[in-house]
Homo-oligomer: A and B are copies of this chain.
């Protein structure tokens, strides 16, 4: 098996939900979602094999954006919405 590299398996890269900016928080949301999937399916070839169909199907993209929105909700609350 062509396995996802170790760093792609870390569930919370950096080990923290805190970020400097909303932009970084949003990037973390995307990463959390992706790394969950790596942990459920760590075979890179299977992941890459599914991408051509998934990434060109609007409903699949909407479903992925939904997960990112939920992850971001958690991260934004953790950062108190980056209020100064």
Contact = CB atoms under 8 A, between A and B. Distances in A.
Interface residues of A, number: 53
18 contacts: A18-B81, A26-B32, A26-B36, A36-B65, A37-B61, A37-B62, A37-B64, A40-B61, A41-B55, A50-B58, A54-B58, A62-B63, A69-B70, A70-B70, A73-B73, A74-B76, A74-B77, A77-B77
A27 interface: yes
Interface of A: 10-12, 15-18, 21-23, 25-27, 30, 32-33, 36-37, 39-41, 46, 49-51, 53-74, 76-78, 81-83
Given A51-B58, A61-B37, A73-B73, A23 B27 contact: no
